[in-house]
């Protein structure tokens, strides 16, 4: 049977996937628009769904592609079968790495933009660019805080002298600095696990330097005249 392409065949249905926005974990998504392609090859049926989906919590839009064949069904009960479709999501996401969420707006504009770009490269499995972005984030924080020093190594230590970081925090940031150097100068990719851990460290830095002080300031007692 020749390929068939249908518009909005799966529109109006719903799927459960990880949210690309501010919700936590797997959420209910409505399929807002779709192009659905299918066909047969000898005795095997196949299909691909290309869908614009919306999280029903935070209303974030994203894209889902699901593909499968009639050979991909797995029996899970006497009369019960489930399809093992191949699913790709864009933007990509990792359910246990939720990022800063809405708190990104508490960051300086340049740092917020750089954070979002670096997180996107991380979730889309581009390790060299992620390493460069992580280093750039650390350097931009140092510059924004006017840390003393004529190179990044000295500026990180300068944040300790200023009381912005602890010595232990600085030691970890030096590791991220080295990762970024490897990525920038040798195009060296680092393992995903290491990059996700490094991003958690940078997010901790951003929370400590910008987000938590902002939130605490709301509870500060007003000064008497």
Same domain? For 140 and 48 the reply is no
Residue 75: how many CA atoms within 13 Å on its side-chain side? 3
Q: How many domains does the chain have?
A: 2
- Residues 136 and 56 occupy one common structural domain: no
Domain assignment of residue 95, yes or no: no
Is residue 64 situated within a structural domain? yes
Point out the least confidently predicted range of 17-21, 23-27, 173-177: 23-27
| pLDDT above 80 for 24 | no
In this structure, the answer to whether residues 79 and 133 fall within a common structural domain is no
Q: Which residue's entry shows tokens 């007692």?
A: 221
Residue at 224 is within a domain: no
Q: Domain containing 208: what range? A: 101-217
Same domain, 81 and 109: no
Is residue 156, in this structure, part of any structural domain at all? yes
Residue 44 confidence (pLDDT): 83
Spatial contact of 24 and 102, defined as CB atoms under 8 Å apart: no
CATH number at residue 200: 1.20.120
Q: Inform me whether the pLDDT recorded for 52 exceeds 90.
A: yes
Answer with the residue of higher pLDDT: 192 or 225: 192
Share of the chain above pLDDT 70, in %: 88
């Amino acid at each position: 049977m020749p390929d068939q392409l249908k518009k909005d065949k799966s529109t109006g249905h719903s799927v459960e996937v990880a949210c690309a926005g501010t919700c936590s974990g797997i959420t209910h998504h409505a399929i807002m628009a779709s192009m659905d392609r299918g066909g047969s090859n000898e005795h095997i049926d196949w299909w691909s769904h290309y869908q614009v989906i919306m999280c029903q919590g935070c209303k974030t839009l994203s894209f889902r592609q699901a593909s499968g064949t009639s050979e991909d069904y797995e029996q899970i009960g006497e009369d019960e079968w489930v399809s093992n479709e191949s699913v790709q999501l864009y933007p990509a996401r990792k359910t246990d790495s939720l990022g800063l969420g809405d708190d990104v707006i508490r960051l300086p504009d340049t740092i917020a933009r750089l954070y979002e770009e670096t997180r996107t490269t991380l979730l889309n499995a581009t390790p060299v660019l992620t390493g460069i972005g992580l280093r750039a984030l650390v350097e931009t924080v140092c510059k924004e805080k006017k840390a003393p020093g004529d190179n990044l190594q000295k500026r990180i230590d300068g944040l300790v002298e200023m009381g912005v970081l602890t010595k232990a925090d600085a030691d970890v940031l030096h590791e991220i600095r080295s990762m970024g150097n490897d990525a920038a100068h040798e195009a060296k990719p680092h393992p995903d696990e290491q990059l996700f851990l490094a991003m958690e460290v940078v997010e901790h830095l951003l929370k400590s330097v910008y987000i938590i002080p902002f939130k605490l300031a709301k509870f500060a007692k007003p000064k008497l005249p």
